[in-house]
Amino acid sequence: MVASNQIATVQIRAVVTPQETERFLDVPSRVYANDPYWVPPLRSSIAKQLASENPFRQYGRLQQFIAFNFNNEPVGRIVAAVNDRLVQREGRSIGVFGYFECIEDFTVAKALLDAACQWLRDQGMTVVRGPIDLSTHNNCLLLVEGFNSPYVMMPYNPPYYPQFLEQDGWQKAKDAYAYDLPLDRPLPPEYEKGYRIASKSGVEFRQIQLKGEGFQQDVRRFYQLFTKAFSNNWSSSPRTEEEFLEEAVSLQTLVDPEIFWIAEYNDEMIGFFMALPDYNIALKHVNGKLNWLGILKFLWYRRQIDTARVIAICSLPEHRRRMVPLALIYLGMRGGTQKRRPYRKAELSWVYEDNLPSRKVIEATGATIYKTLRIYEKSLT
């Protein structure tokens, strides 16, 4: 039986067939039809995340919903999910919602949110948090300030989304910031000094290996370091090495080694600077489909990329006194600005509002907050 929830002229249906999955994937193109900033996500990527073969299904469960208007047209969507790893880690029955898209109609938004919340109640959850697309390793957070072009792998949504959630009684759980850093001026001298101090103390720096066994080795070491360094991140759940390796392989051909640096000490990986070219500049032209025409467009427009997103700056705490974070930033920024086609601007994102050590290092570069993002919570009892 197809679950449904009727509010006025809005009908909410649970997705149960491949045809309904296609309609689920169609929703954003209607919501953002006239939005000049929106970059269509790759349909194949979203479909893969929600597929039954996704490793998430080994430790979680989910339900997709679509909102239809009186003409049987899809006007919104949402996914409710239970991530058992998150529940175990936090010791609370926390469900999540994600993949939320909706036309500018509060009735539609409320119907979708109500359906997701009821499904989570039926699963025994007492709190719901979102937007989180299954886990924070996927797309998460809602943009609440700074509604301009999103960088690669960053969320974007209309300004009315946070208004709708707050109107429905959702509360802020935590904010995160995105920083803007123009690259037309040098870093403060402390960063180059940090690089010299780190090098003299025995830390060695190199670019990521992108071919063959070297890439596989680096990714496995990345996984160990990433898991150790970010194990206490708020609302985060651990990934298996298989999941981590699969994502790394999907990004392998997109990496620019000039802006991806590794720090090692006594042959142990102790830190990294991870950045990617802002491929949204090219993806905006492929309309979410990497068919043969989409690939040609992507290859053509990627030549115009002159901005980059810094995704993570990592250093094990016991090595920070060796100035490893400053050294990595120095190398990443130098690599990005001294290449044949230099980057002119970078976004450093995202950083939780209470991650003061990382914010201090970032702000010392001269970067400034230009976007605010938020995760919301609501009690289900």
Domain end call among 78, 110, 140 = 140
Identify whether residues 109 and 222 lie together within a single domain. Answer: no
* Residue 157 domain-assigned (yes or no): no
Residue with more model confidence, 283 or 6:
283
Per-residue pLDDT tens over the stretch 324-358: 999 999 999 999 999 888 999 999 999 999 999 89
Identify whether residues 239 and 303 lie together within a single domain. Answer: yes
What range does the domain containing 190 cover? Answer: 181-376
Q: Are strands 307-315 and 268-277 parallel, antiparallel or unpaired?
A: antiparallel
Using the predicted structure, report yes or no on whether residue 3 has a pLDDT greater than 50: no
Contacts of 261 (CB under 8 A, 6+ apart): 205, 206, 207, 208, 272, 273, 328, 331, 332, 335
* Strand residue runs (E) in the chain: 4-7, 10-14, 60-68, 74-83, 94-102, 127-130, 142-145, 171-182, 204-207, 260-265, 268-277, 307-315, 345-352, 368-379
3-state secondary structure of 163: helix
d(CA 134, CA 79): 8
**What would the mean pLDDT of 146-161 be, rounded to a whole number?**
96
d(CA 182, CA 193): 21
Sorting pLDDT into bands at 50, 70 and 90, what band is 2? very low
Per-residue pLDDT tens over the stretch 306-328: 999 999 999 998 888 899 999 99
Identify whether residues 66 and 210 lie together within a single domain. Answer: no
Identify whether residues 333 and 251 lie together within a single domain. Answer: yes
* Residue 34 domain-assigned (yes or no): yes
Identify whether residues 110 and 57 lie together within a single domain. Answer: yes
* Residue 175 domain-assigned (yes or no): no
Q: Determine the pLDDT at residue 340.
A: 86
Give the DSSP letter string of 350-374.
EEETT-HHHHHHHHTTT-EEEEEEE
Identify whether residues 211 and 79 lie together within a single domain. Answer: no
Of 221, 242, 235, 234, nearest to 316 (Cα)? 221
Q: Determine the pLDDT at residue 296.
A: 86
Q: Determine the pLDDT at residue 8.
A: 53
Sorting pLDDT into bands at 50, 70 and 90, what band is 5? very low
Using the predicted structure, report yes or no on whether residue 190 has a pLDDT greater than 70: yes
Residue 132 pairs with which residues in a beta bridge?
Answer: 140
Identify whether residues 135 and 186 lie together within a single domain. Answer: no
Domain tally, the chain: 2
Per-residue pLDDT tens over the stretch 14-23: 999 999 999 9
Residue 77 pairs with which residues in a beta bridge?
Answer: 66, 101
Per-residue pLDDT tens over the stretch 255-288: 999 999 999 999 999 999 999 999 999 988 887 8
The secondary structure of residue 54, as a DSSP letter, is S
Question: Percent helix, strand, coil in the chain (nearest 5)?
Answer: 40, 30, 30
**What would the mean pLDDT of 142-155 be, rounded to a whole number?**
96
User: What is the overall mean pLDDT for the chain?
Assistant: 93
Instruction: Give the CATH number, domain containing residue 83.
Output: 3.40.630.30
